[in-house]
Amino acid sequence: MTQQEKVYKALDELGIEYKVIHHQEVHTIEEMDALGIFTDGELCKNLFLRNANGKTHYVVSMMKDKHPDIQNDIRSQLGCSRLSFGSDERLMKHLGLMPGAVSPFGILNDDDADVNLVFDSELKNLDIPVGFHPNDNTAFVWLKFSDLLKFIKSRGNDVYYINI
């Protein structure tokens, strides 16, 4: 079963409605914008971060046009040690994902619910769908933010909100 199929199966099992848009492989927000096909809601970007000792990992999700300062905007609100980007090896180990495919859906591969999910607080107030890769950077899944939280709750990972 592919990464995408695992995401769709999990959403279907929870009765979550979603829409999928397939596209060519992309690695950056700029490449996604250039496709001009993301008009169904708020496209989100995601960062995979780790704390200073490498024992705590985060997927931080926000609206695509935001550019947070990792230390001042994210670390200070989480109250954790210095943050840095997780390596490709850590990303594969903890979420089973390749670079360019970071997504909250990666927790499907996090059986111990060790990775924390951090969302820009603006996302929870949107009344339009949010879009995330289905653990593969050749598609986007559009769903309600409340349904994304239902998915996360089913996996047991911790969720935090910050202002970006």
Per-residue pLDDT of the chain (164 residues; tens, 9 = 90+): 899 999 999 999 999 999 998 887 877 777 777 777 766 788 899 999 999 999 999 999 999 889 999 988 899 999 998 999 999 999 999 999 988 899 999 999 999 999 999 999 999 988 899 999 999 889 989 999 999 999 999 999 999 999 99
Q: What is the pLDDT of residue 38?
A: 66
Q: Pairing between strand 159-162 and 115-120?
A: parallel
Sign of the dihedral through C-alpha 102, 4, 62, 52: negative
CATH of 3-162, one of 3.90.1150.10, 3.90.960.10, 3.30.70.920, 3.30.70.1230: 3.90.960.10
The burial class, CB within 10 Å (0-12 / 13-18 / 19+), for 56 is middle
Q: What is the pLDDT of residue 35?
A: 75
CA 75 to centroid of chain Cα atoms = 17
Q: What is the pLDDT of residue 129?
A: 92
Pure H helices in 14-52: 29-35
